[in-house]
Amino acid sequence: METLSENRCFGGVQGVHRHRSDSCGCDMTFGLFLPPEAEEGPVPILWYLSGLTCTHENAMTKAGAQAWAAEHGIAICFPDTSPRGEDVADDPEYDLGQGAGFYVNATEKPWAPHFRMWDYLSEELPRILDNGFAIDPDRQAITGHSMGGHGALTLAMSLPGRFRSVSAFSPICHPTQSDWGRKQFEAYLGGVEAGRAHDASLLMRDTGFDGPLLVDVGTKDNFWDLLRIDALADAMAARRQPGQLRLQEGYDHSYFFVSSFMEDHIAFHAEALWA
């Protein structure tokens, strides 16, 4: 593993690291913020999954997360959103290909050789962090924005016992019934039916999440119709899932929205991680 940069940040260290990924068959880059407590021993970790077109860098530089993570003594990992490189398949459209991995394991050509973001995030990258950094693998939480909110919710509900809490900013909630989902499932998985295992609203009805859950979305979100927040709300009600789904008056889909409520989300996760 290669360390690309390390910067002192709120008493801790914001690092950027690159490694060869067995899952994705290419070099992958991630950001990792370690609070001051990591110098003394393992600390809890919050995973932050970003949205369409993003890299590891977007939330790392725009979300304002490090200050609150340092206050609560937790690490934050900012993975990339897809495999990248000259040999990695891509598409001219912003919502397919590089920058749009959708947190699934692709089974179809030309995506299957590299687009294995589910394995990368559920198995490979956690193992790398466990072995290389002062991270407590028994204290994990997950959050994300938009496509990353979709990833956070689906990983949390599909890996029972892995995460102590889950939250999301403007998540894609019902991708099997949205153009943000159907298109990607057709391309990566060969059909929408195969995407049912990666649909947060369906997973909520089938399994739910055994822990604290928080979802925020702005009432002026530019992509409201694509997110299908209503489907997740209905599924939570049907399952009687404990949690909060908050509509934030006047906010849109941008990082201005994410940064406005990042303090809330990190405090929410810190309560579960330090319990």
* Predicted local confidence at residue 161, as pLDDT: 97
- A 10 A CB-CB count for 57 gives 14
Domain extent at residue 98: 2-273
For the chain, the average pLDDT equals: 98
Check if 5 is active-site: no
Out of 21, 216, 221, 265, which one is annotated catalytic? 221
For the range 181-186, what are the long-range contacts, defined as Cβ-Cβ under 8 Å and sequence gap of 24 or more? 181/102, 181/150, 183/95, 183/96, 184/95, 184/96, 184/100, 184/102, 184/104, 185/102, 185/104
Question: pLDDT (tens digit, 9 = 90+) per residue, 159-171?
Answer: 999 999 999 999 9
Question: pLDDT (tens digit, 9 = 90+) per residue, 53-99?
Answer: 999 999 999 999 999 999 999 999 999 999 999 999 999 999 999 99
**With pLDDT > 90 as the criterion, what percentage of the chain qualifies?**
100
CATH number of the domain at 248, please.
3.40.50.1820
The residue to which tokens 């919502």 are assigned: 95
Check if 221 is active-site: yes
Out of 146, 165, 170, 178, which one is annotated catalytic? 146
Number of domains making up the chain:
1
* Predicted local confidence at residue 127, as pLDDT: 97
Q: What is the CA radius of gyration of the chain?
A: 17
Dist CA 39 CA 61 (whole Å): 23
Check if 146 is active-site: yes
Answer whether 45's CB lies under 8 Å from 141's CB: yes
- Assign 129 a pLDDT band (cuts: 50, 70, 90): very high
- Assign 229 a pLDDT band (cuts: 50, 70, 90): very high
Question: pLDDT (tens digit, 9 = 90+) per residue, 34-63?
Answer: 999 999 999 999 999 999 999 999 999 999
- Assign 214 a pLDDT band (cuts: 50, 70, 90): very high
Mean pLDDT of 235-250: 98
Mean pLDDT of 132-150: 97
The model's pTM: 0.98
Out of 17, 56, 253, 265, which one is annotated catalytic? 253
